[in-house]
Amino acid sequence: MTTEWTVVAAAEQFTLDARNAGELTFTVSNPGTAPDTVVFDVAPGEGSQRAWFTVAEPQRVVPGQGSVSFLVRLAVPPGTPPRRYDMTGFAYSANTAPEESSRSSGRVTYDVRAVVPPKRAPWPWIAAAAALVLVVAGVVAWLVTRGPDTPPPPRADAVTVEAETLVSGAAVQSTTGAKAQVVAQENCCDVVWSGDAQLFFLGRGVGDRVTVQVDVPSDGTWRFSTVRTTSFDYANTIWLVDGRQVGDTFFGFSPTVVRTDEVDVGTVELTRGPHRLTLVAVSKTQGTDRYFAGVDQIRLTPVVRP
């Protein structure tokens, strides 16, 4: 019997950095009762090439009623014309021809930006002399015109949020008929959370998600980290910041309930004001119909550039 795979991308768009590189998680689910081995691959859109993409562990065993996640890395080569490109992820059973069991995700886009190489001075010695003259003139002008010393602007402090305090304003989305929920869960199961509670997300299927809002005090680069919980019925999850994936998959399974140390998610460029943080259930590694997740704390720490 052919497995009717389902393939879901964590977001509708890759987020590319200044080098036109990025990554995105795809989740493949097996709706049948029997385990099957899936092969995941990428179909590049017009103007792009398969060589731009790398799939980590492209062949995996998926248990019946289970899911697995595939991390796809994208590296666009220099010189690629800047414009919007697209791709799709697809999966098929390893023991059948791709055309017999292949199923695809929706179209995922990515915007390639022009990378301008630094200009080289035609006469290095002239450029160096001119630079020296400017530096000397600048120092003289500063010494003549400077006023009294003023302290540098204050650095932004880290933003630490008890995740359970965000439950009242959280938005939950379900992808199945079973309704997902989010609650503030008090200490239990021999675990003590910071603030004596955690944000407890009761997901019911792949793609279920909860979105909270966190305010950032200033523009800049921020390190996003969390303190999480793992358990026997917890799902594998990813984070989206303002709709775009940040970091890799967090594996939620452990035989007992465990509060983790601080987990680094990734760095993001954020403007001052509110931002949406979305926790998405993408897969599970155990035989359960639950896609639960727990978040104790959310922390944003300013990154100081040298």
Can you give the pLDDT of all 306 residues of the chain as single tens digits? 678 888 998 888 998 988 999 999 999 988 888 889 999 999 998 989 989 999 988 888 888 888 888 899 999 999 999 999 999 999 999 888 777 788 888 899 999 998 766 555 555 656 666 677 676 677 666 666 665 555 555 556 889 999 999 999 999 998 877 789 999 999 998 999 999 999 999 998 888 999 999 999 999 999 999 999 998 889 889 999 998 888 888 888 888 899 999 999 999 999 999 999 999 998 876 666 789 999 999 999 998 765
Integer Cα distance of 235 and 257 in angstroms = 13
Residue 218 lies in a domain: yes
Can you give the residue range of the structural domain that contains 167?
159-302
Among 114, 130, 3, 16, residue whose Cα is nearest residue 60: 3
Distance of CA 84 to the CA centre of its chain: 20
Whole-structure pTM value? 0.60
Return the structure tokens found at 297. Answer: 């704390």
The verdict on 79 and 168 lying in the same domain is no
Return the structure tokens found at 196. Answer: 């004596």
Examine the fold and report which residue of 55, 90, 111 is the final residue of a domain before the chain moves on.
111
Q: How far is CA 143 from CA 11, 133, 139, 148, 153, in A?
A: 53, 16, 6, 11, 21
> HSE on the CB side for 228, CA within 13 Å?
24
- Number of independent structural domains in the chain: 2
Rg (CA), the chain: 24
Q: How far is CA 256 from CA 191, 231, 234, 253, in A?
A: 10, 5, 10, 9
Residue 235 lies in a domain: yes
